[in-house]
Amino acid sequence: MKEKILEYLLNHQGEFTSGEVLRREFGVSRTAIWKHMKTLKEEGYQITSVPNKGYQLTIEEDRLLAYELEKSLGKKVEVHQSIDSTNNHLKRNARDYPDEMIVLSEEQKKGRGRLGRSWDSPKGAGLFFSMLLRPRITMEESFKITGIAAAAVAEAIEEVTGLPARIKWPNDILVQGKKVSGILTEVSGEPDGINYIIVGIGINVNTPNFTGELKDRATSLYLEKGEKVSRKELFVRAANKFFRFYHGFTREKTLGEVHGILENRSAVLGKEVIILRGEEKKQGKAVEITKEGFLKVRYESGEEEVLSSGEVSVRGLGGYS
């Protein structure tokens, strides 16, 4: 019923519609209409209520609205105004949510990146979303999901903005050498099977500035392009690409075209790198992205290693000079 009321208001956008008209249209009480309006407001819809006139829906520019995103993606979508983190929300509710559920929030109060780092998530300026997946793959294969997400986000950014997007293995997207997006993949399962995977993505879309240590390491699409970027367009493009790549992977069990994207957009291949794992630091050169999406590094000793995880610092990027 809520969706039907919303569709009616969308078709009469900018007009006032009385509660009595809605009551007759949908055959429910005015109290029920009021409750649905309250829920829609909580979901972020700008609905004005005026006595003796009724309800008026106004769509704010670049507002993320679940109803519109569901129509664009064919997926179940939730949009929150504020949340601790979209990954945490999905973990708490994974048992009750369908496969390929997507949760977005206008603001995250405890946004996280890899290795427990915080992620700055100011209200209305970025894209902060997570996807719940239940693929039939092994724990080892789950690593590829991060590469799939990185490829989708990088491709979407360049298509929407024209800005060259590079992937700093395994999970950061860079524009002009600065971080514009990060991916956090969390897995619940056993070595031989997955309960669920949550892929969290944060993109600095229209963030106006960065301060402190972030000033030289992070950027936004707005800062690089010089004009605001549509969050809705970018989200729909990135999500559609992700699910196309993801379904190809779960069907064929290979990265397919994603491998080429990871290679061609790599910010680390051919570069001097430092691999950080706990207290251990090793210096070498990134020489290959394997077919599995792993990073092959050749150390100064001549020894080569294939990495499935780890923190990679690249000479000239992110403070390593």
User: DSSP secondary structure string, 160-176?
Assistant: HH---EEEETTTEEEET
Rounded Cα distance between 310 and 114, Å, is: 10
Q: Is position 76 annotated in a ligand binding site? A: no
SS3 151: helix
The answer to whether the CB of 236 falls within 8 A of the CB of 160 is: no
Residues, the chain, total?
A: 321
SS3 55: strand
State both tokens at 251.
């069907």
Q: Is position 220 annotated in a ligand binding site? A: no
Rounded Cα distance between 225 and 220, Å, is: 9
State both tokens at 81.
């105004």
State both tokens at 165.
């997007």
Q: Is position 24 annotated in a ligand binding site? A: no
Residue with tokens 């599995």: 292
Q: Is position 87 annotated in a ligand binding site? A: yes
Among 145, 119, 169, smallest CA distance to 295 is for: 169
251: Cα separation from own chain's centroid = 23
DSSP-assigned letter for residue 216: G
Q: Is position 207 annotated in a ligand binding site? A: no
Rounded Cα distance between 122 and 106, Å, is: 8
Q: Is position 86 annotated in a ligand binding site? A: yes
SS3 2: helix
Rounded Cα distance between 24 and 151, Å, is: 50
Residue with tokens 């039907």: 4
Q: Is position 114 annotated in a ligand binding site? A: yes
16: Cα separation from own chain's centroid = 35
Q: Is position 14 annotated in a ligand binding site? A: no
State both tokens at 263.
């290679």
Residue 76 region by backbone torsions, left for phi larger than 0, else alpha for psi between -120 and 50, else beta:
beta
Residues flagged as binding site for biotin: 85-87, 108, 112-114, 179
Residues flagged as binding site: 85-87, 108, 112-114, 179
